[in-house]
Amino acid sequence: MAEIGKVRIRVPSSIKQGDVVRVRALVIHPMEIVQRRDGKPVDKNYHFINKVVVTYNGREILAAETTQSVSENPFFAFTFRATEPGTLKIAFLDTHGGKYEGTVDIKFS
């Protein structure tokens, strides 16, 4: 549990200007599923990521609403067009108010 919120982001090692870059991101998170007791769902504050926001130099490029039907330690892949060098930031928000961020610097080679 100590590792909750650890974000890993992978981008290709060499990026040229204007390339469409494929990014893979992973966050360590339990993504609790609904517990049942006597067949009835237990009402409590389930701990799972319900929002993912990707920004590139401050501009939002992708947002996702996720549910508990997403795996434990969620993995996401997406692309973006690298028009300028900058910072790609991925923020994961969960139902307990947690915010886990990962950033990666995009440089052209």
- Based on CB atoms, which residue is closest to other proteins, 84 or 107? 84
Considering the complex, what minimum distance in angstroms separates the CB of residue 108 from other proteins? 15
Smallest gap from Cβ 81 to other proteins, in A, equals: 4
Going by the DSSP 8-state scheme, the letter that residue 57 receives in this structure is T
Tokens of 2: 């100590």
Residue 24 or 107 with smaller CB distance to other proteins:
24
Which residues contact other proteins by CB under 8 A?
Answer: 20-22, 24, 32-36, 41, 43-48, 50-51, 53, 55-56, 58-72, 74-81, 93-97, 99
**Cα–Cα distance measured from residue 48 to residue 25, given in angstroms and rounded to the nearest whole number:** 17
- From the list 67, 41, 44, 56, the residue with the least C-alpha distance to 89 is 56
Q: How far apart are CA 27 and CA 75, in angstroms?
A: 7
CB of 14 vs other proteins, minimal distance in Å:
17
